[in-house]
Structure 1
Amino acid sequence: MADRPDHGLLPGFAAADIETSGGARIHLRHAGQGLPLLLLHGNPQTHVCWHRIAPRLAEHFHVVAADLRGYGDSTGPDPSVTANYSFRAMAQDQVEVMRALGHERFFLAGHDRGARVGHRMALDHPERVLRLALLDILPTLHVWRNASAEWAMKSWHWVFMPQEGDLPETMLESVPARWYMERKIGKKGVGLSIFDPRAFEEYVRCFTRKTIRASCADYRAAATVDRAMDEADFAAGRRIACPTLVLFGGGSHTGEVFDDVTAVWRDYATDLVGDRLPCGHYVPEHAPDETLAWFLRFFGAGPA
């Protein structure tokens, strides 16, 4: 699309847009040869969040960095239908994207919302996900079951964005995108200095009415339909079966509130390794070297 600026953050990556059966058009960039590795971002970011490690990963893998439905330059169906933005719907998009690129089975790494999509995909499509890396999240079900005042003050958007009656959408649309982005991702004690200015500008550019409404639908789904799915799966004993890597920032709200994140995930995955990294929430941008080293070992392209 002509209105997409060339941010220059992913040199050598080809852009593509793929339509999915669920009414989404997924924007992505991809490069490299070898086994396929899908990278999924979180809120309120885009696929650009991987720019510090994706080019180096592309030396070993066919790297696909995609925008989730409704985020970035991807579009999605009607956000007034909550189920349209469930992690199940988002996972189905990405399965179809990878199939369109010629990959029936692949590695997957996700940060924040992208990691939640990865968790759901590993449950719904275990035959697709060879190995799974989850960055700086707790299982959605565990978060809702263990909410506290400390968690709520650090994760206020979890209870604000799902509100009904167009309340969060109207409020988020009423402030400048740059003003909101500075406050949302400029975490206390970390700030904005960890972000490449070009990446930050991409996050601001993409924080449009379309993204606001899709992301509120995403959080609304997490509090309702996703939570119901997770309750049913957990009660039935369904767990992530593939090898799983959990990385989290020791200075993030995830690490500060829940402490031993890896221990929590052992109730949700059968084959797991994990590590606390010296960073905040935005792991791929704040600790790219540590993240890359773990990915190369875990996905089989580096020393064991």
Structure 2
Amino acid sequence: MSPRIPGFDYQRVTVADGVSLHAAVAGSGSPIVLLHGFPQTHLMWRHVAADLAADHTVICPDLRGYGDSDKPLDTDGNAYSKRTMGDDIVTLAKAFGHEQFALAGHDRGALVAIRTALDHPDHVTHLASLDVLPTLDMWDVLHGLTGAIGFHLYLMAQPVGLPEQLIGASPDAFFGYFLDGWIKNPDAIPADIRDAYLAACRQAVPSIVADYRASANIDVEHDLADRAAGTTLRMPVTVLQQDWGSALGFDAESLWRAWAPNLNHETVTCGHFMAEESPADIIRAIRALVSR
């Protein structure tokens, strides 16, 4: 059996035709939904979720296409748009009785969270984003040699066929590269959790690629439309990003403030997997956010 978050109940919730999400739920009080990143599952929140559940209802789903959630075929380029994935989250929260909720996301989950908050400002009361830039800004800052950092973004943006074949030929090497290379404290992801991440990714190559492909296509269209319309995030927003120092090469806070006027921007001294490497910092930041 795959590892679970101790003290959490597990349920499957139908969120769209033919799509159910696998979700861990615990606690009571004002709801907080936590969305995982790549190449992970809801288990990345195990430390943070356990703490928050002391006085909040905490909902940790596997995103569509990941973990034990359903993985629909992407027949029209829309199945893994962040808009579609965000609609899943609103439906999930409603299924647990919550019309409004705080939302935190890491990496891919943060992109889903941002789109959910833009599309559903009456449902998302607070937003926390861990270690990403909004989609348009991400593509803008990846250029020249710095683009090599995001090689996987360009690989998985290619048309259906080649990325799936290349990654599927050696999935553990591909996904393990990021688990090992993006972390400063390897002990933060113990062997059983790492194995669970790799097993989940091994079964989800087409859907993970489809998620990334959407971010080079339909997600850009949605963000461009919001930028043209002047749409911003209306709720309090906390952004946590790695402390890259001068190597960052751009002013992340300024980029974020264009989307989030009510912004708290912080750096965290750890690797990319900050909810596992520095859970106390993430817990503190989320608790401070939801108190605003």
The runs of at least 4 aligned residues of structure 1 exceeding 4 Å deviation read none
Query: Is the Cα–Cα contact under 8 Å of residues 185 and 277 in structure 2 kept in the other structure?
Result: no
CA contact (8 A) 1:22 1:77 kept: no
* Equivalent in the alignment of 2:193: 199
2:282 is aligned with 1:291: yes
Change (3 A) 1:280 1:256: farther
Change over 3 Å in CA distance of 1:188–1:245 after alignment to 2: closer
Map of 2:226 onto structure 1 = 233
* CA distance, structure 1, for counterparts of residue 260 and residue 267 of structure 2: 18
User: In the alignment, does 2:217 pair up with 1:224?
Assistant: yes
Contact 1:80 1:217 in 2 (8 A): no
Are 1:96 and 2:91 counterparts? yes
- Residue 186 of structure 1 deviates from its aligned partner by 1.2
Deviations 1:135-184 (A, max 9, x none): 00111011122321233211111100111141010111111x43333212
* Higher share of residues assigned helix: 2
Match of 1:32, as an amino acid? G
Q: Deviations over 1:59-88 (max 9, x none)?
A: 021000011101011113212432110000
Gapped regions of structure 1 (runs ≥ 5): none
Instruction: Tell me which of 236, 239, 258 is aligned to 1:246.
Output: 239
Which residue identity does 2:192 align to in structure 1?
A: R
The number of residue pairs the alignment matches comes to 292
Among residues 102, 105, 114, which one is paired with 1:107 in the alignment? Answer: 102
TM-score by length of 2: 0.95
1:251 Cα offset (Å): 4.3
Alignment of 1:272-291 (within 5 A): 272-291=263-282
Q: Is structure 2 residue 261 aligned with structure 1 residue 261?
A: no
Q: Structure 2 CA distance, aligned partners of 1:158 and 1:151?
A: 12
Task: Say whether the 8 Å CA contact 1:82–1:218 is kept in structure 2.
Answer: no
Q: CA deviation at 1:236?
A: 0.7
Give 5+ residue unaligned stretches, structure 2: none
User: CA-atom RMSD, angstroms?
Assistant: 1.8
CA distance in 1 between partners of 2:257 and 2:100 (Å):
24
Give 2:130's match in structure 1, choosing from 135, 154, 174: 135
Give the % identical residues: 34
